[in-house]
Every structure is written in structure tokens, then in C-alpha cells.
Amino acid sequence: MNSFGARPLRGMKNSDGSILLSHADFDAYEGSFERDPYLRFHLCTAHVGHLCRQGSDGMRLEGVLRPGTFGVSLPNMDADGYWPRTEAVAIMVHSDRFSEFAGEDVTLEDMIPAASTLHRDPLVTSVLSAMWRDAEAHGLSSAFFDAGLSVVINRLAEQRHKSRYSLERPDRPLTGPQFDRVRDWIETHLDGDIRVKELAELCGRDVRSFTRSFRATTGYTPYQYLTLRRLHLSTQLMLQGDSITEISMAVGYSNPSKFSAAFRRAFGCSPSQWRQDNMPTAIARTVA
């Protein structure tokens, strides 16, 4: 959570770590969200702002986050996006325990429609709030808390019958000229704050359809592609001897720690270690 600029207000887990609860104040964030094996329910408790999350499987969540709204994050899914400063309660259930709280015919796949929108459901908001307060008094193993999880999961699983066509329709790739315009814009603005909305406007498209078409064209979401291009440029700058701070600014990261975290996720090592391992090879090629 610290990598997302979170200031924990309260956190707890059950005895085996299969159920977690956190209440935290988050700074605004943009970048990659790490995958984990938990189904998450996020209930906004303070602040208002725009949220966007694009999953590696093409699933997109976008809307205005305000107190009382909540969202669902599926387990083991890579995603990119941004959120505003927000305060939220997160209740997390390990995927191995999902079936204990779901109805007989409810699967994790049935939660995909619910994870594709922000919700303002008075019932679920009330239940999540009550679960939070009950956990503060009795921990995460009470019968009330378990019953609340069952109510929330089954309520949200009802979304599985909606928008089935939109989940199944094929995505058409960008045309050659459209992709050329987007690619050129990205390459000349790697040090800036690039928004998907800007890229979509270059093609005369809305954000949702542009994102689907971009992924159909490249195999990546716009955020994934942008991150790859920024990290590729960073390796070139490191071999030129630029400092990590200079490089992080040159490739659009607000501070070296965020750049280093993204670099480590992509390459499995720190920027400094990568430079140490690759600089001798680069020098040898230059001499040759």
C-alpha cells in the first residue's frame, strides 16, 4: 500500500490471512496496479474524483468516486489506471475462499460485470459499512461478517445477466493512420502527462472504444504500451550515464521511487542494478 501513497488508518486480518480489511487515506495515483489473489470490495468514505482502471483482459472501470460509491477488483488481474485522492475501506477475500460465501451457481467469472462499473447500491453500501464497524468490534471471523460477505457477493453476482453483448462483441483494431498518429504522439510526449482521452481524441474516438481497439492493435492497453515505451527509453538513458532522478523525469515519472517501482516490475531488478549488469556490454559494443 505504501507504493500507492497510502496512509493506513486501520488494518486487520483473520488468523490465516485469507480475509483482510484496511481503512486508508490514499494520495492521487497513476500507474500499474499489482495483481494479487484477493477479490476486493472498495468503499469510498471521503473525497470526490475521477477513477479509471483498465484490466489486462480488456475490462474497464471508469467513473466518479465519491463517498458511498464502491467498486470491485477481481483477483489475479494486471491493471493500469489512475484514481484521485480518496479515503476508502477495502475488504479482501482470498479467491480460494470465494465459494464459501457465494451461492451454489456463482463463480468469480460471474463478478466480471460487477467489476466493470462503480456502484451506488444502498443495500451493498449499508452492508459493507456494517461489516466494517462489526470488524472493528469483533474482528473478521464473526458470523455477521461472513453473512455480510455472502449478501454482497450474491447481490453483485446478479449483474452477470446484464451487458452480455458488450462483453462478447469483437473489437476492431485501429486503422494504420490512426495508430501512426497515436504512436507519434506518445513518442514525443513520453516525459509528460499522457491521458488516454487525449489519445482517443487523436482518432476521433471515445475512450472506451479506443482502448479496446488499441489493445486489438498492439496486444496492450494504452497504459501498458506507454509504460513499455517509457521504460525502453529509460534503458537508453541509463546507458548514456544519466542519473536515475534525471531519467525518471525524462520518462514522465513524478519521482524516482515511482519510476524504480515500475522498472522493477518490468525487469525484475532496480534501475541501478540493470545499469550495472548492462553497462559493460554496452561499452564492449561501442569499442567493437
pLDDT tens for 86-102 read 999 999 999 999 988 88
Q: Indicate the range of 122-136, 166-180, 193-207, 256-270 predicted with least confidence.
A: 166-180
Q: Give a yes or no: residue 195 inside a domain.
A: yes
104 and 189 housed in the same domain: no
Q: Give a yes or no: residue 209 inside a domain.
A: yes
- What CATH code is carried by the domain that includes residue 267? 1.10.10
Q: Give a yes or no: residue 36 inside a domain.
A: yes
- For the chain, give percent helix, strand, coil, nearest 5: 50, 20, 30
149 and 10 housed in the same domain: yes
74 and 195 housed in the same domain: no
Domain region containing 152: 2-166
End residue of a domain, out of 166, 185, 208: 166
End residue of a domain, out of 139, 166, 193: 166
* CA-angle at 21, arms to 18 and 27, nearest 5°: 130
- Look at 280 and 30; give whichever has higher pLDDT: 30
Which helix (DSSP H) or strand (DSSP E) does residue 9 occupy?
A: strand 6-13
Phi, psi of 192 (to 5 degrees): -110, -170
Side chain identity, residue 188: T
156 and 176 housed in the same domain: no
Average pLDDT over residues 59-64: 83
Q: Give a yes or no: residue 224 inside a domain.
A: no
13 and 101 housed in the same domain: yes
Q: Per-residue pLDDT for 5 more than 70?
A: no
| 3-state SS assignment for residue 192 | coil
How far, in Å, are 8, 24, 49, 157, 210 from residue 27 at the CA level? 11, 10, 12, 30, 28
Q: Give a yes or no: residue 225 inside a domain.
A: no
Q: Can you read off the three cell numbers belonging to residue 103? A: 451461492
190 and 85 housed in the same domain: no
The model carries a pTM of: 0.56
Q: For the chain, how many structural domains are there in total?
A: 3
Q: Per-residue pLDDT for 166 more than 60?
A: no
- What CATH code is carried by the domain that includes residue 160? 2.60.120.10
* CA-angle at 122, arms to 106 and 142, nearest 5°: 60
| DSSP secondary structure letter of residue 268 | S
